């Protein structure tokens, strides 16, 4: 059991997940892609619960990318309906979990916008894991926005060009309320970021698994964490320097 191997004193603060493989999982069973999304939605809720138990502070789930708007309309609307079905306040209340969204929320159907805004407000004082859904999100969209916001401040004389630091860029991203991901997991076999948290992953540890998202369970999360805990994060230093600090 990987769960027993997790060192609870060194759990990653922020775990980001690219939940990929729903369509292929369903296809392998001879079912519609949307069946895979429905099953995947259940895994998202289960993994959120597991994250609470593990004491993970932030869990950011890539749920729908800017590029995913280019999928067939029926698939897009099926995913939107699943959001309405699975975003249950009860569970978040029971687990004291917080809910946040990042992304171009205005593009979502109005009922989905209402639900996510309500959930954010309803759970804002909760202190367990913050589950962040990236919805209609892409890093390039987010970084373009940050550039515009900073440029506007310079134009208004609020800051000068020479004062701009990486902290200002952090502060103008939609993720400004949380630390960068320690661990980035991608299911479904692909080894790419697909426009997810590009800036924030500068020093994240990557974990790729062939497992399709609808098959990803608490044990798989624990396995990824154990793998992460066996790595040495050097942040540009030498291994000896990092060892000495211990
Ligand atoms: C991930 O699964 C879910 C979304 C992108 C919404 P996919 O739907 O991409 O599944 P595959 O990659 O086609 O198997
Ligand atoms: C990434 O998966 C987006 C989400 C998981 C929401 P995709 O299936 O859209 O990624 P690509 O297009 O294959 O890279
Ligand atoms: Mg995919």
The tens digit of pLDDT for each residue in 17-43 reads 999 999 999 999 999 999 999 999 999
Q: What is the model's pLDDT at position 26?
A: 98
Q: How many CA atoms lie within 13 A of 15 on its CB side?
A: 28
CA–centroid distance, 235 to ligand 1, in Å, is 32
H/E element, 133:
strand 130-137
H/E element, 39:
helix 33-54
Q: What is the model's pLDDT at position 137?
A: 98
At 194-231, the pLDDT tens digits run: 999 999 999 999 999 999 999 999 999 999 999 999 99
Say if residues 59 and 131 touch (Cβ distance below 8 Å).
Answer: yes
At 114-127, the pLDDT tens digits run: 999 999 999 999 99
Q: Is 24 in the pocket of ligand 1 (CB under 6 A)?
A: yes
pTM (predicted TM-score)? 0.98
Distances (CA, A) of 208 to 38, 81, 188, 191: 22, 28, 8, 7
Q: Which domains does the chain have, with CATH numbers?
A: 9-138+180-230 (3.40.1180.10)
Question: What's the average model confidence in pLDDT over 91-98?
Answer: 97
CA–centroid distance, 138 to ligand 1, in Å, is 15
Nearest-CA neighbor of 182 among 2, 15, 8?
15
Q: Is 71 in the pocket of ligand 1 (CB under 6 A)?
A: no
Burial of 78 (0-12, 13-18, 19+ CB in 10 A): middle
CA–centroid distance, 216 to ligand 3, in Å, is 15
Residue 86's CB is within 10 A of a number of other CB atoms, namely: 15
Q: Is 188 in the pocket of ligand 2 (CB under 6 A)?
A: no
């Amino acid at each position: 059991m990987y769960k027993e191997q997790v060192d609870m004193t060194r759990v990653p603060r922020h775990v980001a997940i690219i939940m990929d493989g729903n369509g292929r999982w369903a296809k392998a069973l001879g079912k519609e892609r949307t069946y895979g999304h429905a099953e995947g939605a259940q895994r998202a809720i289960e993994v959120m619960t597991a994250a609470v138990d593990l004491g993970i502070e932030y869990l950011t789930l890539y749920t729908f990318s800017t590029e995913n708007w280019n999928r067939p309309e029926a698939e897009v609307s099926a995913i939107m309906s699943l959001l309405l079905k699975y975003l249950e306040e009860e569970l978040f209340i029971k687990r004291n979990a917080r809910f946040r969204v990042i992304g171009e929320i205005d593009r979502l159907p109005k009922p989905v916008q209402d639900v996510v805004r309500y959930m954010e407000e309803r759970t804002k004082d909760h202190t367990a894991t913050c589950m962040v859904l990236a919805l209609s999100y892409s890093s390039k969209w987010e970084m373009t926005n940050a550039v515009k916001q900073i440029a506007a401040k310079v134009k208004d004389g609020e800051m000068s060009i020479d004062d701009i630091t990486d902290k200002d860029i952090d502060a103008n991203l939609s993720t400004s309320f949380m630390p960068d991901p320690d661990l980035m997991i991608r299911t479904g076999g692909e080894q790419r970021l697909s426009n997810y948290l590009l800036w924030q992953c500068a020093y994240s540890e990557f974990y790729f698994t062939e497992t399709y998202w609808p098959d990803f369970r608490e044990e798989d999360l624990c396995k990824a964490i154990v793998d992460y805990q066996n790595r040495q994060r050097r942040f540009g230093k030498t291994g000896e320097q990092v060892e000495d600090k211990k």
